[in-house]
């Protein structure tokens, strides 16, 4: 199992080892047919740009890029892709995944049966964690402890995911971290840390929570793995595979054999790929932070006007979600998510945790949720959650507040016969109000992926495509590819419904 948005890159292998690994990957790539090469390139648009720069070809066609791929350095292919470091994975990382029960590049899954790749028994699992290098030791982290939560917060705040230009870094508040890592069924044993023995400093961390997801017709129990983080000074210690193996071992001892994770890099092998879209709420601030750019020939005041929003919502019956709405919301969410190929199986207890708005003791809030009530029944709901990003070395702004679109549902999408135009109209009304509410709560930008039915409103609500993609992975489970709402060129396809109904905080 692997982290969500894992950034760490380890040192490259020694010359002899690297050449051996390069040969292995070269053989793997040579086994791909032209269509599979195109799919690999489509999963990582940054690689296409590298191919173009290396070859001197402007905007290569998919066929040209696939041909050029075979002549590139294998250390850039399959593992890291872009030379600028974005999404980079080294050869040793790729070799590690070759040993894991995950689908491999080049395999033809079209006729393969979906299901577990490796069957094991609890008695076959090691009862103790693997030994660490001298000077380090395994620990369980108690997130109920303010002191230990502060340690996790400080590790993530200083060493977690950054953008390629080191301008922004995720800044998960303790409130968000508890919300994300203490969902129903959580257990301290899934909050795994590594400490330096002498200083007692927390230098690495990984977490998981139990989730139940439906993959087409099968419901499976998974460990949803997140927040893998390693201190920058220890990136050459090969701790990431060790942490992944340990969270796998802990899960297996609890009879959980499948894992769910997301990453911004291409690993063997994504079930689906979605693209990030961004909708400015405070364009002026985003521009000053370097998040948004000023289009040629435009002026700042034009952009501010372009993204201005009404002061009040327009949907009749819209109000904040309450505990009394849970039965209706869970029922609506289940029926609405049945339209997608991969989606959560959410219980009432889980819906209470993930969706009901509430502030913690410090006054911080993780999620905002709203329902539309008509004649005493919930007909629609939507939600968004908060992840702040630290702005690095900016004299004016320290934090960008980012709202991420979470789960939503509408009875309009369940009416038979299905009418896409009616659902599109309704979703634009709802998301338009979601933007207004996010602006009211002082968010600076609203993010969404090309999953669920988002293709029906992203462009209409003035979302712009970002340069990041998010890949969905299943550990120890083979699933045929699921559409992420993108066409063959990784562009939004508003005519193609995404099969992904799963949103991971």
- CA 381, CA 159: separation in Å to the nearest integer? 35
Measured CA angle at 90 (ends 120, 234), to 5 deg: 85
Active-site residue, from 60, 103, 268, 505: 505
Calpha distance 37→32 (Å, rounded) = 6
Nearest Cα residue to 433 out of 464, 397, 408: 408
Token couple for 108: 């033809």
H helix intervals, 70-116? 91-98
Q: Which of 125, 443, 139 is nearest to 255 (CA)?
A: 125
Residues in contact with 163: Cβ distance below 8 Å, sequence separation at least 6, in sequence order? 169
- What values do phi and psi take at 355, rounded to 5? -115, -30
Strands (E) in 67-201, as ranges, are 136-140, 168-171, 191-196
505: annotated active-site residue? yes
> What b/e readout covers 369-401, taking b as 16+ CB neighbours within 10 angstroms?
bbbbbeeeebbbbbbbbbbbbbbeeeeeeeebb
The radius of gyration of the chain from alpha carbons, rounded to an integer in Å, stands at 23
Neighbours of 364 (CB within 10 A): 14
Cα separation values, 319 from 52, 145, 328, 331, Å: 50, 35, 14, 18
Q: What are the residues whose beta carbons fall under 8 Å from the beta carbon of 374, sequence distance 6 or more?
A: 317
Pairing mode of beta strands 272-280, 445-449: antiparallel
Q: Which two tokens stand for residue 465?
A: 């495509």
CB burial of residue 83 (10 Å; 0-12, 13-18, 19+): middle
Distance between CA atoms of residues 382 and 404, nearest Å: 11
- Joined tokens for residue 165: 């230009």
Output the CA torsion 224→230→232→234 (10° steps).
-150
| Catalytic residue annotation | 505
């Amino acid at each position: 199992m692997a982290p969500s948005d894992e950034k760490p890159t380890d040192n490259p292998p020694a010359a002899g080892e690297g050449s051996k690994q390069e040969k292995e990957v070269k053989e793997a790539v040579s086994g791909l047919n032209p269509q599979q090469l195109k799919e690999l390139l489509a999963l990582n648009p940054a690689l296409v740009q590298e191919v173009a720069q290396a070859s001197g070809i402007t905007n290569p066609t998919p066929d040209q890029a696939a041909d050029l791929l075979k002549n590139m350095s294998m250390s850039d292919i399959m593992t890291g892709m872009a030379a600028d470091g974005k999404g980079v994975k080294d050869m040793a990382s790729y070799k590690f995944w070759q040993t894991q029960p995950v689908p491999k590049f080049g395999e033809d899954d079209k006729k393969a049966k979906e299901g577990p790749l490796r069957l094991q028994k609890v008695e076959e699992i090691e009862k103790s964690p693997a030994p660490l290098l001298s000077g380090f030791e395994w620990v369980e982290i108690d997130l109920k402890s303010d002191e230990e939560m502060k340690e996790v917060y400080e590790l993530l705040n200083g060493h977690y995911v950054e953008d390629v230009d080191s301008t922004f870094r995720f800044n998960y508040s303790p409130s968000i971290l508890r919300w994300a890592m203490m969902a129903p069924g959580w257990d301290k044993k899934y909050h795994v840390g590594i400490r330096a023995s002498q200083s007692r400093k927390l230098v690495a961390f990984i977490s998981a929570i139990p989730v139940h997801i439906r993959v087409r017709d099968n419901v499976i129990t998974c460990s949803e793995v997140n927040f893998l983080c390693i201190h920058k000074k220890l990136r050459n210690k090969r701790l990431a595979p060790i942490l992944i193996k340990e969270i796998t071992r802990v899960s297996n001892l609890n009879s959980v054999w499948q894992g769910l994770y997301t990453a911004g890099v291409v690993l063997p092998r994504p079930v689906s790929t979605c693209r990030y879209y961004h909708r400015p709420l405070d364009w002026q601030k985003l521009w000053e932070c370097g998040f948004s750019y000023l289009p040629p020939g435009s002026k700042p005041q034009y952009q501010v006007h372009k993204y201005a929003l009404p002061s009040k919502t327009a949907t009749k019956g819209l109000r904040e979600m309450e505990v009394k709405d849970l039965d209706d919301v869970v029922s609506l969410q289940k029926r609405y998510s049945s339209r997608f190929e991969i989606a959560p199986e959410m219980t009432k207890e889980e819906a209470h945790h993930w969706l009901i708005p509430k502030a913690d003791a410090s006054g911080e809030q993780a999620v905002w949720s709203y329902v539309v009530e008509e004649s005493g029944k919930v007909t629609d709901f939507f939600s968004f959650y908060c992840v702040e990003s630290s702005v690095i070395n900016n004299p004016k702004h320290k934090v960008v507040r980012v709202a991420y679109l979470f789960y939503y549902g509408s009875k309009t999408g369940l009416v038979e016969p299905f009418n896409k135009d009616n659902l599109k109209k309704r979703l634009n009304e709802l998301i338009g109000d979601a933007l207004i509410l996010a602006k009211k709560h002082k968010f600076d930008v609203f993010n969404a992926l090309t999953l669920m039915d988002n293709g029906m409103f992203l462009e209409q609500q003035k979302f712009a495509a970002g340069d990041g993609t998010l890949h969905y992975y299943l550990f120890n489970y083979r699933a045929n590819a699921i559409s992420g709402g993108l066409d063959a060129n990784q562009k939004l396809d508003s005519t193609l419904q995404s099969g992904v109904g799963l949103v991971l905080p």
